Amino acid sequence: MSPVSIYPVPGLPEISRGAALARLIVDGLTRLRLSLEAGDVVVVTQKIVSKAEGRVRSLSEVQPSARAMEIGHRIGFDPRHVEVILGESVRVVREAPHVLITETRHGFVCANAGVDRSNTGGQDLVVLLPEDPDESAGRLRDGLKEISGAMVGVVISDSFGRPWREGQVNVAIGAAGVVALRDYRGDLDPAGYQLQGTELGVVDELASASELVMGKLDRVPAALIRGARVAGDGTVRSLLRNPATDLFR
C-alpha cells in the first residue's frame, strides 16, 4: 500500500470555447511548483471541458416545444431549460416538483441530462455535457503528454445524485489512461471465500476523492492525484450497466 496525495489546481481563468485546457492545467501546476509525472491522474470538472468545447447554450435562443412547456409547468422548471434537457435525452425516467431525471444520449441516468445552470459564466446560459466525454478525456491526455512528456491519466468528473442516499458525489463521466473497473471476481478473501460480484468503480473513486480539494463554489476545476497506481486503458463507457442486467430499469 502506498499513500495517495491530492492537490487542488486553483487559478484557472474563466474558460471559453477553444481554451487550451492542457496548457492552463500545466501552468497551474507550475505555479504550485509541481510537474506531471508518469502515473499521475488529472481530474477536471465536466464544466470546463464543456465550455472549452463550446457546449454552452443561451436560453434566450431556445424556443420551447409544447412538451417542454407542459413538463416545465408541471415540475416548476423554465420550459427553455426543459427543452435543452429533452434534446440531450433519450427518455425521461422520472419527474417530480423541481426534479427531472433523464437518460442521456451517453447512457447516463442523472438529473436534467447534466444540463447545468450554475457556474455557467452568464445569467441565461446553460452548459451541456461533452458530446463524447471519453474522447474528450483522451484529447486532454494527449495535450498534457505533448506539453509535459508524462503519461498520465485523465478523469472528467460531474456531480450526480444517488438513489436511496441523500447528497451528491462526484463521479466520472469520461476517462483515459486509467483503470475504470477493478475486477475482483474469482479472487479469494483472507478466509478463502471466492468473491462473486466485487467490481470497484475506480474512476468514480478518483472523481469523488478529487472533490474534497476542489469544492463546489471554490472555483477549483482541476486536481492532481498522485500515488494511486491506476494506470490502464479503461473508459467510463464500460461502467454503464447493460439494460438486460439492470434490476431497476
Residue 185 pLDDT exceeds 70: no
Q: Which CATH number fits domain 57-126: 3.90.1660.10, 3.40.630.30, 3.30.465.10, 1.10.3720.10?
A: 3.90.1660.10
Contact 96, 75 (CB under 8 A): yes
Report the distance separating Cα 68 and Cα 72, nearest Å. 6
Report the distance separating Cα 249 and Cα 49, nearest Å. 30
Sheet holding 222-226, edge to edge: 5-8, 222-226, 41-45, 153-162, 165-176
Q: What is the pLDDT of residues 209-231, one digit of tens each?
A: 999 999 877 789 999 999 999 99
Contact 164, 227 (CB under 8 A): no
Which CATH topology does 5-54+130-239 take?
Answer: 60s Ribosomal Protein L30; Chain: A; (3.30.1330)
Cα-trace Rg, the chain: 19
Q: What is the pLDDT of residues 125-179, one digit of tens each?
A: 999 999 999 999 999 999 999 999 999 999 999 999 888 889 999 999 999 999 9
E-strand stretches of the chain: 5-8, 41-45, 56-58, 89-96, 99-104, 109-111, 125-127, 153-162, 165-176, 181-183, 199-201, 222-226
Q: What is the pLDDT of residues 51-80, one digit of tens each?
A: 999 999 999 999 999 999 999 999 999 999
Cell reading at 114: 447534466
- 101: confidence class by pLDDT, cuts 50, 70, 90: very high
What residue segments make up the domains of the chain, in order of their start?
Answer: 5-54+130-239, 57-126
Residue of higher predicted confidence among 249 and 232: 232
Burial environment of residue 244 by CB neighbours within 10 A (0 to 12, 13 to 18, 19 or more): exposed
